């Protein structure tokens, strides 16, 4: 596996305000990286810095085989051979679909241009629309034109800024799978930005979670999902609910039962309020047990009933408001039930 893109200690400041600090990332050829994080975390700035629209102040961007970009050697965007798909697609309104796609191909001869464009048109099911103008197309069609236009010059790296945010929620999944299989078929290395965690898990080979200009964690979606490195990562990706924990000598206490200390797989930071990351699949009903939670909210989903539970304990240090729990049993709102924590590799975090 060859590494295509390496970011080393990349930092960006706009008007003296740090936007990105010390970003380190690598991306292998052919992989798709999903950048996630809350709005304003700097993910779009990172994309724009890689594309060359924002200047870096420190650190370097290396693109295999031999391009190294740092503050002393800022290579202009047009010389980076990086394709970009914008959130609003940024199709040229004065050019037809065909000419939009041909825009980046002026350096190659007409015959080759025509074959390349025709291939892309048919690959993206746009052949019938080649003479139309962008305003005559639907949102999904516009996105496909933007993809074809960005792919036409055969960029080394493709950047996508919130590519699905303007697409109807019902079409989104379909388009996502379509685009993913297209990129895989063409062997394209890509980075895409989103604030939607579901998109990353279904689209990316690798994810990077950002917060306040830093990359908190990067890795395969499965690794990150199983081993979030911090409270922020787990919280943003909504991996599970948070259960306050009090440490005893051999055991830790929670409002719905105790856990043996030895079985704790992961514990970050001492001397702070600790929380157990509890995924819904690690919670079980305890039909004979003493009631310990109250049903606050009921929702019907494709996985059965989704309940939000609050604790019944009087101990303020252990009480919680929103514990996610799925079950096929029917309970009414306000009903009190008993649950327990199933044994697993417990992970404790502090905020």
- CB nearer to other proteins: give 81 or 258: 81
Of 41-70, binders to other proteins (CB under 8 A) are: 51-53
CA dihedral sign, ordered 194, 196, 197, 202: negative
Sheet arrangement for strand 274-278: 257-260, 251-254, 241-247, 274-278, 346-349, 264-267
- CB nearer to other proteins: give 87 or 230: 87
- CB nearer to other proteins: give 53 or 297: 53
Quote the least distance from Cβ 90 to other proteins, whole Å. 4
> Would you call the peptide bond into 65 cis, given omega within 30 degrees of 0 as the criterion?
yes
Quote the least distance from Cβ 103 to other proteins, whole Å. 5
CA distance 203 to 221: 10
Span of 71-79, 115-123, 179-187, 201-209 interacting with other proteins by CB under 8 A: 71-79
Site string for other proteins, 138-157 (x = CB under 8 A): -----------xx--x-x--
Span of 32-40, 86-94, 136-144, 265-273 interacting with other proteins by CB under 8 A: 86-94
CA distance 310 to 78: 55
Q: Does 107 bind other proteins (CB under 8 A)?
A: yes
Quote the least distance from Cβ 95 to other proteins, whole Å. 8
- CB nearer to other proteins: give 141 or 227: 141
Quote the least distance from Cβ 147 to other proteins, whole Å. 12
Q: Does 99 bind other proteins (CB under 8 A)?
A: no
Span of 33-41, 67-75, 104-112, 222-230 interacting with other proteins by CB under 8 A: 104-112
Closest CA to 87 of 222, 196, 231, 242: 196
Tokens of 268: 């970050």
Q: Does 17 bind other proteins (CB under 8 A)?
A: no
Quote the least distance from Cβ 82 to other proteins, whole Å. 6
Quote the least distance from Cβ 218 to other proteins, whole Å. 24
Tokens of 193: 């930005």
Closest CA to 348 of 257, 217, 228: 228
Do residues 315 and 269 make contact, with C-beta atoms less than 8 angstroms apart?
no
CA distance 176 to 82: 21
Do residues 294 and 236 make contact, with C-beta atoms less than 8 angstroms apart?
no
Count of residues that bind other proteins according to CB under 8 A: 28
CA dihedral sign, ordered 60, 61, 63, 64: positive
Contacting residues toward other proteins, per CB under 8 A: 51-53, 76-78, 80-84, 86-88, 90-94, 103-104, 106-107, 149-150, 153, 155, 159
């Amino acid at each position: 596996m060859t590494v295509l893109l390496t970011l080393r200690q990349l930092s960006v400041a706009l008007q003296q305000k740090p936007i990105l600090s010390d970003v380190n990332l690598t991306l292998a050829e052919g992989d798709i990286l999903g950048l996630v994080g809350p709005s304003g975390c700097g993910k779009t700035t990172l994309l724009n810095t890689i594309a060359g629209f924002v200047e870096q102040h420190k650190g370097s961007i290396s693109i295999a085989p031999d391009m190294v970009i740092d503050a002393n050697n800022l290579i202009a965007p047009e010389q980076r051979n990086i394709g970009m798909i914008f959130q609003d697609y940024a199709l040229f309104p004065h050019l037809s679909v065909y000419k939009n796609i041909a825009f980046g191909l002026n350096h190659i001869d007409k015959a080759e241009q025509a074959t390349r464009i025709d291939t892309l048109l048919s690959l993206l099911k746009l052949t019938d629309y080649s003479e139309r103008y962008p305003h005559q197309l639907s949102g999904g069609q516009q996105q496909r034109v933007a993809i074809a236009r960005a792919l036409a010059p055969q960029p080394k790296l493709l950047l996508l800024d919130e590519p699905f945010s303007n697409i109807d929620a019902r079409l989104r999944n379909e388009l996502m799978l379509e685009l993913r299989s297209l990129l895989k078929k063409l062997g394209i290395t890509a980075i895409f930005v989103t604030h939607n965690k579901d998109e990353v898990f279904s689209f990316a080979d690798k994810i990077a979670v950002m917060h306040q200009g830093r990359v908190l964690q990067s890795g395969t979606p499965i690794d990150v999902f199983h081993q979030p490195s911090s409270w922020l990562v787990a919280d943003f990706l909504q991996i599970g609910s948070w259960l306050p924990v009090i440490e005893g000598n051999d055991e830790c206490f929670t409002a719905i039962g105790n856990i043996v200390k030895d079985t704790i797989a992961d514990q970050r930071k001492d001397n702070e309020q600790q929380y157990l990351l509890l995924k819904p699949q690690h919670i079980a009903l305890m039909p004979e047990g003493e009631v310990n939670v109250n049903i606050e909210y009921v929702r019907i989903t494709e996985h059965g009933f989704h309940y939000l539970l609050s604790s019944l304990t009087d101990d303020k240090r252990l009480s919680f408001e929103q514990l996610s729990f799925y079950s096929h049993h029917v309970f009414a709102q306000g009903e009190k039930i008993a649950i327990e924590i199933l044994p697993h590799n417990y992970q404790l975090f502090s905020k």
